[in-house]
Amino acid sequence: MSESTPALRTRPRPAARDIPANPSEFLAALGGPCVIHVPGRAPGRVRAVTTLLHGNEPSGFRALHRWLREDSIPAVDTLLVFASVGAALAPPGFAHRMLPGRPDLNRCFLGPIETPEGRLAEEILRTLRDADPEAALDIHNNTGHNPPYGVGVEPTREALWLTGLFGTRFVWSHLKLGALVEAISDIPSVTIEVGRSGDPAADAVAHAGLERFLQLEDLFEPEAANAPQILVMPMRARLRPGTSLEISDVPVLGTHLTIRADLDRHNFEVVAADTPIGWSDGDALPLELIDETGRDRAHDFFQLSGGQLRTLLPMIPIMITTDAAAAAGDCLFYIVREPEPGALRA
């Protein structure tokens, strides 16, 4: 994305016959970040879908490519936002979360706007706010094995309903990371994680959920979606500055932290106290565990014992990644818990 190129272009819906069968060819034809306006059966009402905020998370894009080729007419006018097209196109394709050396777009929606990514985030927000959608979805993949789930800033009836189109768990996040869903909290909206990138099952989940979202005449009917389990996400596990990381079945010599290659099998499971999660060659904890107040809680939850990094308390991890680059650039995992009694509004 160059400094002089308009960040977000508006395009009409392409004719189904003109859309390449190969998703990568369609991606290249988009020519950069864009929003496609799709007229619906009930004009005057609007819904929105955002995909490719991360270039290595293609399930939402593939689902929309398939849906557009099927020549479906949505229930209401719909905005389809394709964001990090350049990162998705970078060789070998759908391999880069963001372009090398560039900020993560989904950390730019609360500012600043001095970078091309910040300006693109600002334009996406302006587009959504001008449209005033009755609901919005932001579709993502994980880099580890996870079931489909939703993430939002409040467990509202609308957020839970939207999550139920895709999965059976809703993660109630208090973190402020600069994500899109945080910036549009006044719009009924959720982030949907449909599963692991590159998994055909994740593509199928994305298509089925989006089909329902786009075709239902009236959203938020009680019988239209399942009521998901609510989990609170107060803590984010990330590498301490200067910590090197490897993903392996055995400890890697000369590496500060080696994470077990099969650790993501524990996503959304209760992990018992004293469970080994990796190996460390130092005396200090290689992880930070940041809660919603910004406090580091790592020493409350982890310990080093005999060169192993082990849990101190039972915990429920989610979004565990076994991609070392993704872990170094963002985080290793999050820890969730059941809501406190009385935390949910009636």
pTM, full prediction: 0.89
Q: pLDDT by residue (tens digit) across 87-101?
A: 999 999 999 999 999
Q: 37-48 burial by CB neighbour count: b if 16+ within 10 A, else e? A: ebebeeeebbbb
Eight-class DSSP state of 270: -
**What domains appear along the chain, each with residue ranges and CATH number?**
9-227 (3.40.630.10), 234-337 (no CATH)
**What pLDDT does 144 receive?**
84
What burial class does residue 303 get, using C-beta atoms within 10 Å of its C-beta: 0-12 exposed, 13-18 middle, 19+ buried? Answer: middle
**What pLDDT does 345 receive?**
55
Q: pLDDT by residue (tens digit) across 83-132?
A: 999 999 999 999 999 999 999 999 999 988 889 999 999 999 999 999 99
3-class SS string, 97-132: CCCCCCCCHHHCCCCCCCCHHHHHHHHHHHHHHHHC
Q: Element (H or E) spanning 82, and its range?
A: strand 76-82
Q: pLDDT by residue (tens digit) across 32-59?
A: 999 999 999 998 899 999 999 999 999 9
Task: Compute φ and ψ for 10, nearest 5 degrees.
Answer: -100, 130
pLDDT at 334 over 70: yes
**What pLDDT does 2 receive?**
45
Point out the least confidently predicted range of 105-119, 196-210, 328-342: 328-342
Average pLDDT of the chain, as a whole number: 92
Residue-wise DSSP of 190-253: EEEEEEETT-HHHHHHHHHHHHHHHH-SSS--GGGS--PEEEEEEEEEEEPTT--EEEESSPPT
pLDDT at 326 over 50: yes
pLDDT at 245 over 90: yes
